[in-house]
Amino acid sequence: MRFEPDLLRMNDGTAVKTAAQMEQRRQELLALLEEHAYGAFPAAVPVRGTIVNESARACSGDARLCDIEIACDFGKESFVFPVKLFLPNTNGKKPLLVLINFSKDPYCEYVPVEEIVDNGFALAYLYYGDITVDDGDFSKGAARFFPRTGSGRDPGKIGIWAWGVSRAVDYLETLEWVDEKRLALIGHSRLGKTALWCAANDMRFQYVCSNDSGCMGAAYRGTWHAGGETVSSIARVFPYWFCENFQKYKEAPGTAPFDQHLLLACIAPRKLLVNSAALDAWADPVSEQYACVGASPAWEAYGKRGYLGSEKPYGTDEGCLQGDIAYYKRRGVHFLGRRDWLNFMAFIG
């Protein structure tokens, strides 16, 4: 199968053959996605983290729950947002799962906190609304620190949520128990799109798990299936998730100079798991699988294993967790559930 645009062709036409060339190509892809889709990734600022509250009772006493405030320094003003950290009472380095989620409360239907802790993982929990609101208002939360310039490439909300995740990691990565080789980012749906864009830019994440991220997440548009979300629809309904330039593709989606295998390729050479749900036609599971096939050459160019799964669409509760880019289709609907987490934890190991 041929994937367009050609991942392994540099802007000047040179074929990518080496890891060094792939790294250069990765920079071109990030620039392309900034310009046409997500907007410029907002710059880092100095960050301070403070534990403001601590409980030893989390998960029946198997974990400490730390309420952390992340203060981002914008000169005269700071932007402060909370992170909740579940830290298992085990010795030594621990893998850290960073989750950006929809609920203020981590004890919600999407997060099996006890099971995560029982498996030895620490969990850093961010509520996306604490970074900025999910609408077209750019005067609230972190968004107000990134004034709109009218350049067409001002970050959309996905870019601003992603920036918040990276600022939390500025603090979290300083904690001495963090196993930086197993620092992972997880997001579901629009926050799966956010996780992909964040990790594409933030090389500290060694693992990324996108769950049901769909259109403008992990779904390759060149293989769109009936019932799936389209660029025209997402640009119309959620214009503020993206930069203004993205609006050009609302009427002419076929002219967009990028597709989602290029976003996945920006995660290489690190490890990526694309998780889908069989009954989630809107996120187009089959096209999510194809995007993994299409992105695989980026891993291979880095000398990694790439995608080792099937090219034929998987059935329900099937996939391949081997390889550095993995895909799995679980049974059920659009949801971030226990079985998704079991996959993430098996993948990260």
Q: How far apart are CA 86 and CA 114, in angstroms?
A: 9
* 189 vs 276, beta carbon nearer ligand GTR: 189
* 166 vs 189, beta carbon nearer ligand GTR: 189
- Smallest gap from residue 282 Cβ to ligand GTR (A): 6
- Three-state DSSP class for 342? helix
- Among 159, 214, 294, 323, indicate the residue that binds ligand GTR (CB under 6 A): 214
- Among 36, 167, 190, 329, indicate the residue that binds ligand GTR (CB under 6 A): 190
Asked if residue 167 binds ligand GTR (CB under 6 A), the reply is no
Q: How far apart are CA 174 and CA 223, in angstroms?
A: 42
- Residue span 278-317 as binding mask against ligand GTR, x where in contact by CB under 6 A, dash where not: ----------------------------------------
The terminus-to-terminus CA distance of the chain in angstroms comes to: 31
Minimal CA–CA distance to 208: which of 230, 191, 223?
191
- Residue span 229-248 as binding mask against ligand GTR, x where in contact by CB under 6 A, dash where not: x----x--------------
User: In angstroms, what is the C-alpha Rg of the chain?
Assistant: 19
Asked if residue 215 binds ligand GTR (CB under 6 A), the reply is yes
The phi and psi torsions of 318 (rounded to 5 degrees) equal -135, 160
* 181 vs 236, beta carbon nearer ligand GTR: 236
Reported in sequence order, the residue ranges of 189-312 that DSSP labels E, i.e. its strands, are 207-211, 271-277
- Smallest gap from residue 248 Cβ to ligand GTR (A): 19
Query: What angle in degrees, to the nearest 10, is found between the helix axes of 157-172 and 190-201?
Result: 60
* 87 vs 263, beta carbon nearer ligand GTR: 263
- Smallest gap from residue 46 Cβ to ligand GTR (A): 31
- Smallest gap from residue 80 Cβ to ligand GTR (A): 25
Binding residues for ligand GTR, rule CB under 6 A, total 6
- Smallest gap from residue 278 Cβ to ligand GTR (A): 17
Can you read off the two tokens belonging to residue 218?
Answer: 């992990």
- Three-state DSSP class for 163? helix
Asked if residue 99 binds ligand GTR (CB under 6 A), the reply is no
- Smallest gap from residue 237 Cβ to ligand GTR (A): 6
Strands 63-74 and 77-88, how do they pair?
Answer: antiparallel
The phi and psi torsions of 81 (rounded to 5 degrees) equal -140, 155
DSSP 36: I
Residue 79's Cβ-side half-sphere holds a number of Cα atoms within 13 Å equal to: 21
Asked if residue 189 binds ligand GTR (CB under 6 A), the reply is yes
Q: Please calculate the CA angle 125-131-136 and round it to the nearest 5 degrees.
A: 135
Asked if residue 178 binds ligand GTR (CB under 6 A), the reply is no
Q: 314: how many CB neighbours lie within 10 A of its CB?
A: 18
* 22 vs 215, beta carbon nearer ligand GTR: 215
* 70 vs 158, beta carbon nearer ligand GTR: 158
Binding footprint of ligand GTR on the chain (CB under 6 A): 189-190, 214-215, 229, 234
